[in-house]
A and B are shown apart, each in its own frame.
Chain A
Amino acid sequence: MMPSLPIWQFDLPLLVLVVLFAVVALSIRNLMGAAIVFGAYSFMMCLIWAGMGAVDVAFTEAAVGAGVSTVFIVSTIYNTSATMKRRPGGMAFKLFIGVVVTVAGGFLLSALPDFPDWGDPNSPVNATVAPYYITHSIPDTHVPNLVTSVLADYRGFDTLLETVVVFIACIGIYSILRIEPARTSIDETDEEIAAPASYDPTDSLIVRQASRFMVPFMQLFALYVIAHGHYSPGGGFQGGVILGASLILLAVSFDLKFLLSRWREKSLMLLVATGVGLYAAVGLACLFMGGNFLDYGTLDAVLPGKQDMARSHGILLVEIGVGITVMFSMLAIHINLASNGRLERGL
């Protein structure tokens, strides 16, 4: 029983294509090529999710998965090396792992007959808890984008922890790379790390002017994404990543020094903590107003409107917190990864 709508035919070839991209990304021997193909793989994934109706996930994947993480991989390769050494042997081990993985795959497939059909609206997943969100989002929180209301309210604790994960990644990468910039013998002499380019790459007038022109529009768009997340796809994460990406664009098309002359490192790291702090503070405020943690409904005494509007405003507040953290941690992670923790020059 094949799915009946054209949208499903749209997904099937894409799914095959995605597997192809994954195989290519892993088998290509130049790491830079692998990184680029991996970026394309993520864009494909984003299309698939848009095809399945998960617009917010597609948006996040386009911003986080495809955009920023590809930049991270590229800057890592920039600081190291793109070539892979071909070594003899090791085939037996690879084959052994291959057998193990195939057995595992077979085991997973053995559960296949148990699954509900793809896209069945009456499967347990779609019929147990999910209908509550669909029918109650407007009366409870006054937010038409169900994803936003579930994300920031019903399962707001998950989102707080997710922000904490980003925060950990940021301070963790800072702790790993930035602190103790010890110079080992291979550090600067390595031929792979290119000497300063023969001409100043920031000379590229077209790129520089185009980027300079684009950045304000990107930021405006990102603010719209955060603020309009109640009504359209988007929210703190997506907007935060685009804001961060706009600054990364500045760093890439000019250079790191240009960026750091405007944003000091200390203020970056403090702002990252501010975002999480804002989220936690909203939760704590609810606690002090007599509700449970993250129960925005109790904020109706200080925020305009009745309980449902208070929830809506509470969601906006935490989305802003998320946006701040994500924006500055993406930037902080980028400057550390791109310059190998030295913040002097880099991608």
Chain B
Amino acid sequence: MENLIANFNYVIVVILMMIGLWSMLAQKNLIKKCIGMAIFQTGIILFFISIGAKRGAKVPILTGDEAPVVEQLANPLTQILMLTAIVVGVATLGMALALAQKIYRQHASFDEDEILENQRK
């Protein structure tokens, strides 16, 4: 239990990912799938950011001339990785939405089952 509280953020990460994964796989609506995908991605970003956080650290921007103290600045590396992940995420989301619009133009529906029925005809 002690461990659970000290690592509360990881628990939240896992919950967010379960929500995202569930809606990517189980939801029938394409837009909901897209939103689920975005939530899954934010879960992962949260994971990386929280492993790079330091207790009592400042933002990783140096001020003044004194030499930087490693313990007092948050980890920049995980932040870079996640900047990349965010941008990749929005690119994927945009593309998914474009495909969804195109599918809607064909089938007049966002419902996966209905689209599959349409395709079988």
Task: Compute the total of residue contacts between A and B using a CB distance below 8 Å.
Answer: 300
Is there contact, CB below 8 Å, between B63 and A104?
no
| CB neighbors of A among B41-60 (8 A) | 42, 45-46, 49-60
Q: Known: A15-B8, A73-B31, A184-B106. Is A133-B77 also a contact (CB below 8 A)?
A: yes
Our pick among A5, A11, A112, A176 for the contact of B3 (Cβ within 8 Å) is A112
Q: Are B99 and A81 in contact (CB under 8 A)?
A: no
B61 engages A165 (CB within 8 Å): no
A37 nearest CB neighbor, chain B only: B35
Q: B55 to A169, Cβ gap below 8 A?
A: no
Of A109, A129, A134, A337, chain B has the most CB atoms within 10 Å of the CB of: A134
Between A52, A93, A97, the greatest number of chain B beta carbons within 10 A of the residue's beta carbon is seen for: A52
Residue of B nearest to A131 (CB): B70
**Bound complex: CA of A197 vs CA of B78, how far in Å?**
48
Q: Are B60 and A134 in contact (CB under 8 A)?
A: yes
With A60-B87, A120-B55, A233-B59: A109-B14 Cβ-Cβ less than 8 Å: yes
Do residues A81 and B104 form an inter-chain contact, with CB atoms below 8 A?
A: yes
Please name the residue on chain B nearest to A163 by beta carbon: B87
Q: Are B49 and A54 in contact (CB under 8 A)?
A: yes
The reply to whether B108 and A18 form a contact with Cβ atoms under 8 Å apart is no
Question: How many Å lie between the Cα of A98 and that of B58 in the bound state?
Answer: 40
Query: Are A3 and B87 neighbours in the complex by a CB distance under 8 Å?
Result: no
**CB within 8 Å for A19 and B76 given contacts A73-B34, A336-B98:** no
- B4-40 contacts to A (CB < 8 Å): 4-12, 14-23, 25-29, 31-32, 34-36, 38-39
User: Does the CB pair A22–B16 fall under 8 Å?
Assistant: yes
Question: CA separation between A68 and B86, bound complex, in Å?
Answer: 12
Inter-chain CA distance A85–B29, complex, in Å, is 9
Q: Which residues of B contact A129 (CB under 8 A)?
A: 77
Q: Interface size class for chain A? A: 35 or more
User: Which of A140-148, A198-206, A253-261, A311-319 forms contacts with chain B?
Assistant: A140-148
Residues of A within 8 Å of B61, CB to CB, are: 55, 144-147, 231-233
A94 and B34 alpha carbons, distance in the complex (Å): 17
Indicate whether A211 reaches chain B with its CB closer than 8 angstroms. Answer: no
The interface bits of chain A over 151-194 (1 if a CB of B lies within 8 angstroms of the residue's CB, else 0) are 10001001100100110110011001100000010110010000
User: Which chain A residue shows the least CB distance to B57?
Assistant: A53
* Contact yes or no, A105 B14, CB < 8 A: yes
Which A residues lie within 8 Å of B86 (CB)?
Answer: 57, 60-61, 64-65
A→B interface (CB under 8 Å): 1-5, 7-8, 11-12, 15-16, 18-19, 22-23, 25-26, 31, 34-35, 38, 41-42, 45, 48-49, 52-57, 60-61, 64-65, 68-69, 72-73, 76-77, 79-81, 84-85, 87, 90, 93-94, 97-98, 100-102, 104-105, 108-109, 112-113, 115-121, 123, 125-126, 129-131, 133-135, 137-138, 144-147, 150-151, 155, 158-159, 162, 165-166, 168-169, 172-173, 176-177, 184, 186-187, 190, 231-233, 237, 326, 333, 336-337, 340-341
Instruction: Name B residues whose Cβ lies closer than 8 Å to a Cβ of A.
Output: 2-12, 14-23, 25-29, 31-32, 34-36, 38-39, 42, 45-46, 49-63, 67-68, 70-71, 73-84, 86-95, 97-102, 104-106, 108-111, 113-114
